[in-house]
Amino acid sequence: MTNPVQPKPRRCPICSNLVGDDAYRPFCSRRCADVDLGRWLTGSYAIPGTEGDDEADAPAATVATDDDLLPH
């Protein structure tokens, strides 16, 4: 018989407690999941970029119309 490999215990990224239940994974509880959500919503987490990298600077996307779908 071989011993199955035990997965490494996971720690909550908010409070570092062990994650026991998969219901809130990767967090240990709803409280920690809500703390993380609150951080995203208030802008505490941000994806780094250079100044001026704004969606307003990007070219506008074109929208297909019914005329574009008809054969020419």
Give residue 6's pLDDT band: very low, low, confident or very high (50, 70, 90). confident
CATH code where residue 24 lies: 3.30.50.10
User: What pLDDT shows up at residue 12?
Assistant: 95
Rounded Cα distance between 20 and 23, Å, is 9
Q: Residue 49: inside a domain, yes or no?
A: no
User: What pLDDT shows up at residue 17?
Assistant: 95
Q: Residue 22: inside a domain, yes or no?
A: yes
Q: Residue 12: inside a domain, yes or no?
A: yes
What is the helix (H) or strand (E) element at residue 47, kind and residue range? none
Rounded Cα distance between 44 and 39, Å, is 5
What is the domain extent for residue 40? 8-44
Rounded Cα distance between 40 and 42, Å, is 6
pTM: 0.56
Q: Residue 33: inside a domain, yes or no?
A: yes
